[in-house]
Amino acid sequence: MTKPRLTAEDWILAGFRSLSKTGPDGLKAEPLARALATTKGSFYWHFKDV
């Protein structure tokens, strides 16, 4: 079975969860990618201008 595709909204929600748990230091692509079980390349796919 394939994993569902992540959306920009999934990344934003993960960012909010991380922000509430760890503060601004948690808002980095690598830890968020680990939390979503994906690569940080997925982040840059959705947020090309970052």
Domains of the chain, residue spans: 8-46
* Three-state secondary-structure class, residue 7: coil
From the list 6, 8, 4, the residue with the least C-alpha distance to 48 is 8
Length of the chain (residues): 50
User: What's 8-46's CATH class?
Assistant: mainly alpha
pTM metric for this prediction:
0.85
**Over the stretch 27-50, which tens digit does the pLDDT of each residue have?**
999 999 999 999 999 999 999 998
Per-residue model confidence as pLDDT tens digits over 3-30: 779 999 999 999 999 999 999 988 999 9
Give the three-class secondary structure for 26.
Answer: helix
pLDDT the model gives residue 26: 86
pLDDT of residue 1: 64
pLDDT exceeds 90 at position 2: no
The confidence score (pLDDT) of residue 3 equals 72
Going by C-alpha positions, the residue among 2, 12, 3, 6 that lies closest to residue 45 is: 6
Q: Which distant-in-sequence residues (6+ apart) come within 8 Å of 3 by Cβ?
A: 37
